[in-house]
Amino acid sequence: MGLVLGIDSSTTATKAVLVDPEGTVAGIGVAEYDVRLPHPLWSEQDPALWWTGTQAAIRSVLAVTGVPGSDIEAVGLTGQMHGAVLLDRSRAVIRPAILWNDQRTAAECDEIRERVGAARLVELTGNDAVTGLTAPKLLWVRRHEPEAWRRLAHVLLPKDYVRLCLTGDLAMDRADGSGTGLFDLAARRWSPEVLAALDLDPAWFPPTHEGPVVTGTISAAAAEATDLVAGTPVVAGGGDQAANAVGVGAVAEGTVALSLGTSGVIFATTDRPIHEAQGRVHAFCHAVPDRWHLMSVMLSAAGSLRWFRDALAPGEDFGALAAEAGAARAAADGLFFLPYLSGERSPHPDPLARGAFVGLTLQHDRRHLTRAVLEGVAFGLRDGLDLMLAAGMARPSEIRASGGGLASPLWRQILADILEADLVTTSTTEGAAFGAAVLAAVGRGWFRDVPAAAAALVRTTPAASPGPDRAAYAAAHAAYRELYPALAPVFHRASQGRRLEPRGASPARSC
């Protein structure tokens, strides 16, 4: 057998990962790009960047490894979830994509709850209407950009725009589709009831497929652009969190994954569709056929540490900052950090939530501030985990962890203490892209199903276990949970009078 290729179109870069039949990463190619922030709380990207990045990343990994495109037996796709990619009838991009971390759509979320019914919406889709999902972005464009709306003929998610460029086909996987806010969770298909209530044309939304299903093949044009071979199969794949779960082996009931990147995610696989009654954590389809998952998402996890470093310790090494924080006591001597720098999704679906340090004294210095950031992110993740436990998932004894934040031994220990579970890392750090490659391997027929592939390809290593500080953290978490309810009225008042006007933008290029 040859190799499979996983492609991850993330918010800041496209990564192409080659994987062999033993699960070894044979090579990695990366191409970086920027995000547009045209207004406060807005986040947009030109879809052409994903296609350009895909070409560069694939060519890079093939060149570095010396692997010919003919050795690639299948391609799997993953990427950032929830983005609204709008195309006209000719499949040209109408406007820059509105991304997962965009927060402009609070009014449209209220409209969705009114049209569908708040309880009915959660019952059908597994989710409340929150600003990060795709559905409110569509309603925002309808309200604010009528010219763009009149041209709309197709709605895609970011990785599925890359699929279009690679294969010429309009298709989507069911894990990513369920993250739009327009999916019938139990039925694993677009919800006719929700689409009708929101007056959205079903013809705009592509066919959906299970993660390992082949949706098309590399076109002649894409082969020329990437050095792949025309006719190479491309599987449906999954949104980045579902693909990451595949990549770390969280594919069966009871397995839990933690992703500590720009955002922070707790992911629990289930064998039936369950949801939290108020939609404060997400319930989506898994990239594994006939599996679902609960997912708690905080918007600024490792992103909080990056903000702190850039704002207060520019140029400082992250490892040095974390090592310095180790000199401060657990619970940062009474100092708390709220990590709501981009608003929040779980457990507080509030785009107006704000970050804060609470409890500062003259005795605190940078060591305490850094430790408070690390602990605040862990407390936020614990809030989401508690909601998932209340919804019906079993308490995990082990969590499969991935992401750049796990490089810090101190942060690993803080997470194990606060989440009260052993942390293990896996045999690859390329979680989502590796998971996309695993799905491609199943689609190509290397394995009978995704669990068999994960069992063969994913290996774990202990990273941290709960230690003596867990009792101190339990008490500190109780205090932490009181802070958002107390400060939310202040956050909301501070946001009054800030009006975000839409800004015209030139249509993005098409592939």
C-alpha dist (Å) from residue 143 to 137, 206, 279, 332 = 10, 23, 25, 46
pLDDT > 90 in the chain, percent: 85
Average the pLDDT over 287-315 and give the result: 94
- 21-46 pLDDT tens trace: 999 999 999 999 999 999 988 999 99
Least confident of 59-68, 111-120, 223-232, 498-507: 498-507
Q: Which of 173, 176, 184, 240 is catalytic?
A: 240
Domain segments of the chain: what residues? 3-248
Q: What's this model's pTM, rounded to 2 decimal places? A: 0.87
Average the pLDDT over 190-210 and give the result: 98
427 pLDDT above the threshold of 90: no
- 6-26 pLDDT tens trace: 999 999 899 999 999 999 999
CATH of 3-248 given 3.40.190.80, 3.30.1330.200, 3.90.1010.10, 3.30.420.40: 3.30.420.40
Sorting pLDDT into bands at 50, 70 and 90, what band is 498?
Answer: low
Sorting pLDDT into bands at 50, 70 and 90, what band is 503?
Answer: very low
Is 240 one of the annotated active-site residues of the chain? yes
Per the prediction, the chain carries an average pLDDT of 93
As a residue count, the chain comes to 511
500 pLDDT above the threshold of 60: no
Phi, psi of 464 (to 5 degrees): -170, 150
Sheet holding 264-270, edge to edge: 282-285, 292-298, 264-270, 256-260, 398-402, 422-426, 460-464
Report the pLDDT value the prediction gives residue 253, as an integer from 0 to 100.
87
255 pLDDT above the threshold of 80: yes
Closest of 177, 95, 180 to residue 130, by C-alpha = 180
- 65-115 pLDDT tens trace: 999 999 999 999 999 999 999 999 999 999 999 999 898 999 999 999 999
504 pLDDT above the threshold of 50: no
Average the pLDDT over 150-164 and give the result: 98
Sorting pLDDT into bands at 50, 70 and 90, what band is 506?
Answer: very low
338 pLDDT above the threshold of 60: yes
Task: Quickly list DSSP for 465-480.
Answer: ---TTHHHHHHHHHHH
